[in-house]
Every structure is written in C-alpha cells, then in structure tokens.
Amino acid sequence: MSARERALAAIRSPNARAILRELLEKGPRSRSAIAQATRLTETAVSRAAQRLIVEGVLAEGKQLLERSGPGRPSVELEFGSSFYVAGIGIRGYTQWVELRRLGGEPIVSEQFACEDLTDPIAVLRRCCNELDALLRSRRVPRHRVLNVGVLIVGVVDPAMGTVLRAENLGWRRVEVKQILEELTDFPLTIETMLNGMNLQQRVQASVPLANSLLVSVALGIGASVIVDGRITRGCGFAAGQLGHLRSRSSTMRCVCGRVGCLDTVASGRAILQANGLLEAGARFGMRELAGRFRKLSSAAQSRPDLAGALAAAGHELGNAIGGAIALLDPREIVFTGFVIDDDHYFDAVCDELSWYRTGTSAQRVDFVRRQQGGEGAPSMSAALSLAAEVAGKAESLD
C-alpha cells in the first residue's frame, strides 16, 4: 500500500473519524479531552490516535501543564504536516484550484477562466492540469494529497458524482466523477458549491450549529440548508435553489427557462443588466463583475435612484428568505456573495426579515454577514475534502 492508501485506511476507522472531527472543529486537543467529547474510552482514543500518528495524519503537539493522574504528561494531538488536501472549484465565471494543509490551513489558491464552459471534459481536464501545475510549483508529491474536493454550481448528486444540471455552465447529466477518475488518480469528493461552503462554515464555527441556512448572492442566488446536522438535498438534489422561487414582481425569463424567478430581479446579474453593466450572454471574470457591482454600489451613495433599486432587490430576497425561516426554523443565516457587501441591499433584506423576529411566537435567528470586499472570493473546496473524508463521505458532522 502507498502512504496515501495507508493514511486513508486509518482515517476510515469510526474512532479515527471521531477524533479527526473533534480536531477539525476545535483545534489541537488532548486525548482525554477528545475522549470526553466523543464519549470514547481513553484507550480507544489512544489506539486510534497512535495509528494516525504512525501514518503521519496526526502528530503530538505541545505538552500540557495539567496532569490528569500518574503516568506520562498529557500532550495535544494536532494534524500532521505530511499530507494535504486540494480543491477544484467550477462556477459560471471563475474556476480555481487550491491547496491546503490537512487541518484546513490555506497554502495557495489560483483562479483562471476556461474559454468554453459548455465542454465539460475540456473544463475538467483544464482543472486537473492547473492542479498538477500548482502541486509542482509547491513541490508537493501527488501521493501526499489525501483527497480533492470538487465544488460545482448547479444541482449535483454527490454520491454518484453527477451534475444533474447547471444552467450557468450549460451542463446536463455530466458524470463528473467518472470523467475525473479517467483524468487523475486522486480520491475525489464531489459537492454543490453552496453545500460545500455550508459544510466548511460549519466545520470552522466556534460552536457548530445543527440548523443553519447559507444564502449566497453573487451573479445568481442560491442557498444551502443544514437541518438537524445534515445537509438537506431534496428528492432530486435540488434543495436550496432559492433563486428559482417565484417572484410576483418579475415577468422576465430566467436562465432556467421559466418566467418570474427571483434571480431575474434580485441577483447580481439582474442588477448589473438593469443598469447596463452586463449584456445578456456576455462573459467576464468574477472579479471584473464584482468590481462593476462595487462601482455601482459606490455610486448609489449619492444617487437615490440606484439606492432605491438596490433596496428593492434586497426586499425581494428578504421576502423569499422569510418563507424559509418559517419552514426551516434555522438558528443562523449566513449571507455571502459580493452583492451582500452592499449596505442598501443587505439592510433591505434585514428590514424585510424583522417581522420574523417580533411577536410572542418569534423564531430567533442570528444573521451573519460574510463580506468579501467585492472580490467574490472562492469557497474553500479543499477544506471540504477533509470534512467529507473524516465524516465518512456523509453530510452529518455531529
């Protein structure tokens, strides 16, 4: 067995996954602290940890001052430096590859743009080539990459690794995992863009929440829902298609083919097109488009008409999210995407949602705004790969 195969075999032990989840969520911890948190015996934790240490997945860190009893002093367990996780991101206007340390710390991320997104094999081949070049530039041996997380916009069946549909890419029933397995030898995790972001958000939270809603507003509008610790996918893996809710104020045709979707009035694409900053069918990099929106947002500070238009779009989104609050009862809503950076838009969203936090039967919801400085920064696809791997390729991180 190769070093990677031995490490993956060690990770797939249930006790090992419990240990890694604890370290991923809370950072370096002693064996006794891990045992208390996971309800495993200290002996079980020590045995699983020792195998992970031998394979280079974990390492012993600093010695703790306190002693729980006679014997050797307690030391913290932490992720080792021998292995890495990598990521590929594919969305309508930007693609990227990235490399992270096993514990999720970023090393490098490179963005690029494929000329023809309608050819999935060519796009995936380009992504593999870019990842190979990234690893060579950092002198990271391929066998030291434990997993590659692949995040793709659209509706994805993660178990089969299939993109069922992605209108922004022009993809329908693309067997992504099968194609990638012919192009590369890395273990793969395939997930939708926003579900990957939501899992990453959950892993990095100081207190992981069992019920949360992530809403992204960039060129399009999408969402990801975690209910009782699990990603909610729906019967056709299309849960979270927030941008395709019906907006009664719209009579425009959406890229999905229907008329009146929320995307046509409240998304970054809709706002840019309405102000003559994006022609239908035109292609620009995400940073260029985010930059155009940022200039529009800045101009709105002195132009009431622009400020009103941004606020109207925000009210449309807030109205849609209100229904989700009533149905799902999330503890937290995380907002992300370059459109959310605009205060007129975001304040209108919050104003629309204030109704759901008043009255005797109010559902308390915390709003978290992840501003991106207008850059539309990539989500952390590499960190997703470890989160999925330690969870046994399941969504629940409980």
pLDDT higher than 90, residue 119: yes
Q: 3-79 is classed in which CATH architecture?
A: Orthogonal Bundle (1.10)
pLDDT value of position 172: 93
Q: What is the per-residue pLDDT across 144-172, written as a single tens digit (0 to 9) for each?
A: 998 898 999 889 998 899 999 998 788 99
- CATH numeric code, 84-200+379-390: 3.30.420.40
Mean pLDDT of 312-330: 91
User: What integer best gives the mean pLDDT of the chain?
Assistant: 84
Is-same-fold flag (3-79; 84-200+379-390)? no
In percent, how much of the chain has pLDDT > 70?
A: 85
* Per-residue H/E/C for the chain: CCHHHHHHHHHCCHHHHHHHHHHHHHCCEEHHHHHHHHCCCHHHHHHHHHHHHHCCCEEEEEECCCCCCCCCCCEEEEECCCCEEEEEEECCCCEEEEEEECCCCEEEEEEECCCCCCCHHHHHHHHHHHHHHHHHHCCCCHHHEEEEEEEECCEEECCCCEEEEECCCCEEEECHHHHHHHHCCCCEEEEEHHHHHHHHHHHHCCCCCCCEEEEEECCCEEEEEEECCEECCCCCCCCCCHHHCECCCCCCECCCCCECECHHHHCHHHHHHHCCCCCCCCCCCHHHHHHHHHHHHHHCCCCHHHHHHHHHHHHHHHHHHHHHHHHHCCCEEEEECHHHHCHHHHHHHHHHHHHHHCCCCCCCCEEEECCCCCCCCCCCHHHHHHHHHHCCCCCCCC
Q: What is the per-residue pLDDT across 384-395, written as a single tens digit (0 to 9) for each?
A: 555 555 555 444
pLDDT value of position 195: 86
pLDDT value of position 283: 65
Q: Which CATH number fits domain 208-369: 3.30.300.10, 3.30.420.40, 3.40.50.1220, 3.40.640.10?
A: 3.30.420.40
Q: What is the per-residue pLDDT across 286-319, written as a single tens digit (0 to 9) for each?
A: 677 888 999 999 999 999 999 999 999 999 999 9
pLDDT value of position 289: 80
Higher-confidence residue: 61 or 135? 135
Mean pLDDT of 358-380: 61
pLDDT value of position 308: 95
pLDDT higher than 60, residue 378: no
pLDDT value of position 394: 41
Q: What is the per-residue pLDDT across 50-106, written as a single tens digit (0 to 9) for each?
A: 999 999 999 998 776 555 555 556 788 999 998 998 989 998 778 899 998 887 788
pLDDT value of position 242: 92
Sketch the domain layout of the chain as residue ranges. Answer: 3-79, 84-200+379-390, 208-369
Q: Given pLDDT bands bounded at 50, 70 and 90, which one contains residue 398? A: very low
pLDDT value of position 256: 81
